Amino acid sequence: MSKKQTQCARVLELLSSKAEVSALELSSISLQYAARVCELRKSGATIANRVEVKADGTRHGFYRLVRRATFPEMSQTGTRTVPNVPEREPVNNSLFPESYRYPD
């Protein structure tokens, strides 16, 4: 991967380097770290999270990498390669099922 890693790759690297990572640490990489964690989960990584409630009522989130997934390869242009997924075509070129009747 190039010097300028994607945020997902940097989050994955941080999760791999420690037993548990705080949400505060992840926010130093990306303020939308939850979206990056979601992307990693969609790519097949298993990431556990927990919330610790302190005596004063404050909540602190922590994430843990359970199982690493294969990260999509980067192309020369810096975009991830995504497998082709055929689009679903609507049945009878309609958004509604055949049995749908407009209310009178």
For the stretch 53-95, pLDDT in tens is 999 999 999 999 988 775 555 445 555 555 554 555 545 565 5
CA angle 52, 14, 27 (to 5 degrees): 60
Domain ranges of the chain: 7-81
**Amino acid making up residue 99:** S
Cβ 18 vs Cβ 39: under 8 Å? no
pTM of the model: 0.60
Give start and end residues of each alpha helix (H) in 1-104.
7-17, 23-27, 33-42
